[in-house]
Amino acid sequence: MARTVLCACEDVTLEEVRRAFAEGHRDLESVKRYTGFGTGPCQGKSCLAAVAGELLRLGATPAEIAPFTARPPLQPTPLALLATADPGALPLDPGVPPPAAGPRPRPQGGPLPERARVVIVGGGIMGLGLAYQLCRRGERDVLVLEAGYLNAGASGRNGGGVRAQWSTPTMIRLARRSLALCRSFAADMGVNVWFRPGGYLFLAPTAEQVARLERNAALHRAHGLATRVIDPEEAARIVPELDRRRFLAASWNPDDGVVFPWPFLWGYASRAAALGARIRTFTRVTGFEREGRRLTAVRTDAGRVTCEVVVNAAGAWSKEVAALAGVPLPNRPTRHEILVTEPLKPWLGPLVSVLGNGLYFSQSQRGELVGGMGDPDEPEGVVSGSTLRFLSRFARAALECVPRLAGVKVVRQWAGCYDVTPDNNPVLGAAGFDNFLQLSGFVGHGFMMAPAVTEAMAAWMTGGEEDEIFRRFTLARFERGETAREDFIIG
Ligand SMILES: Cc1cc2nc3c(=O)[nH]c(=O)nc-3n(C[C@H](O)[C@H](O)[C@H](O)COP(=O)(O)OP(=O)(O)OC[C@H]3O[C@@H](n4cnc5c(N)ncnc54)[C@H](O)[C@@H]3O)c2cc1C
């Protein structure tokens, strides 16, 4: 049978684009994620117009085929070349601006219902995971409202790291549960999430960081983890390419891992929908109606829905959504940039992270290096443009760690937002109104926390056991000064 290839880099055919559309991925961004077109070395230069044209023919509207954000580098560029740019001389600007606002894609998923018992604002991993878990427990009257496409927020832009190496018993417990759920996700949900248990290797360049890793490792072992603090020689047996002069010791847990984020959302969404949840994309929440201590309805750009419970799962936009109800959250959205290189032969087992500068990288199932690094000077704001400053900072830090990467070319970069709270712990439970539940503030680890946290939250919401996190991580803790800072954050 003839194959018409639309994206030569990623070998995506006309047939696959048509199938994606038939399965409900109507807009260009969703089709890009579902098929992988436009993610290869040419960055859509050869396929964007062809796929957009086909979607138009299939019935997409012009707003649904708005081109995806153009980002540097213009062509695959070696890390060594990027490292020659002086990051200090490069601006921390918003980066490549998003395309000018035009007509918005039509709401997708069906007409907006007049009422729903539980309305979840935000269709990221938190919102969709909660919808699925609620439905599993028999709460079927659930509506998820997502302003964009699935995977539009941080859940579609992250590094996919899932680790149990944390610094408090609570985080270790949640992460272990998430790791167990990640392991069985593909079988349970019928979607391949490329879970790779290659371990996490934290490198400590200073004696102070080594002491911290040793304290953590003792806690980990007390909670049943296999974490060990190892010397540079042993670390170099796990990753021989590491420059062992750059660190004094490393923390190693072979049971941590990495997943491919996008299919998690598709898995949760399709299973939740099969159990009765309604998911409406391109439907933005614009306000709330209230009566006394309760929210009674959610207003959207597609109409109004009366409800009994509202969950704020809007990630970096949670502060903005809470403000629509007059509830101030202390969350600070902050951009975090990330990149991907050309594919290499398999050489890297674990996700490697360097304490101090926040560098991390892992190798994807397709062989690409996926890595990010926070910028301490990044100001608060929902910004998702890409900068040359990040490329040069990342390149310098990565080459210090693994000099042999010098010739490896960066193919693509993107950005999302961390949803940062003052103590790096989430905001959970009711806030402002008795039926306005928060599920936000997951900084740079919400993806790995979502499977466990949404399971616990659904149990609590349906009359089951109340996990201690719903008492400890309330908004009121900030007023009471009962915060315990989580400081084992990457980036
Ligand atoms: C570059 C990067 C790397 C990361 N790496 C990791 C990692 O390795 N491991 C890890 O565990 N975590 C990582 N994270 C963090 C993780 O991605 C987030 O914590 C997690 O995805 C948050 O999920 P969420 O569902 O709360 O938010 P999101 O996925 O952002 O979803 C919120 C959704 O709400 C929608 N929304 C906003 N406003 C409205 C509105 N008014 N009405 C309706 N919908 C609205 C948005 O469109 C969005 O889709 C990383 C984050 C970034 C940015």
Give yes or no for residue 257 CB within 6 A of ligand 1: no
Instruction: Write the Ramachandran bin of 348: left for phi over 0, alpha for psi from -120 to 50, otherwise beta.
Output: beta
| The pLDDT value given to residue 99 | 66
Backbone phi and psi for residue 73, each to the nearest 5 degrees, phi listed first: -80, 155
Q: Distance between CA atoms of 398 and 372, rounded to whole angstroms?
A: 10
| The pLDDT value given to residue 68 | 85
**Which amino acid residue places its CA nearest to atom 19 of ligand 1?**
446
* CB-based contact 322:312 (threshold 8 Å): yes
Give yes or no for residue 416 CB within 6 A of ligand 1: yes
Q: Distance between CA atoms of 123 and 109, rounded to whole angstroms?
A: 12
Give yes or no for residue 442 CB within 6 A of ligand 1: yes
> Ligand 1: which of 166, 177, 317 to mutate, judged by most atoms within 8 Å of the beta carbon?
317
Cα four-point dihedral sign 435, 285, 141, 277: negative
Q: What is the pLDDT along the chain (491 residues), one digit of tens a residue?
A: 689 999 999 999 999 999 999 999 999 999 999 999 999 888 888 899 999 999 999 999 999 999 888 888 989 999 999 999 999 999 888 887 666 677 789 899 999 999 999 999 999 999 999 999 999 999 999 999 999 999 999 999 999 999 999 999 999 999 999 999 999 999 999 999 999 999 999 999 999 999 999 999 999 999 999 999 999 999 999 999 999 999 999 999 999 999 999 999 999 999 999 999 999 999 999 999 999 999 999 999 999 999 999 999 999 999 999 999 999 999 999 999 999 999 999 999 999 999 999 999 999 999 999 999 999 999 999 999 999 999 999 999 999 999 999 999 999 999 999 999 999 999 999 999 999 999 999 999 999 999 999 999 999 999 999 999 999 999 999 998 888 787 787 76
The pTM for the full model equals: 0.97
Give yes or no for residue 157 CB within 6 A of ligand 1: yes
Q: Which atom of ligand 1 is nearest to the CA of 122?
A: 34
Place of tokens 């926070």: 374
DSSP notation for 370-416: EEEE--TTPPBS------HHHHHHHHHHHHHH-GGGTTPEEEEEEEE
**Which amino acid residue places its CA nearest to atom 25 of ligand 1?**
124
Question: What is the 3 state secondary structure string of 46-92?
Answer: CCHHHHHHHHHHHCCCHHHHCCCCCCCCCCCEEHHHHCCCCHHHCCC
Length of the chain: 491
Give yes or no for residue 321 CB within 6 A of ligand 1: yes
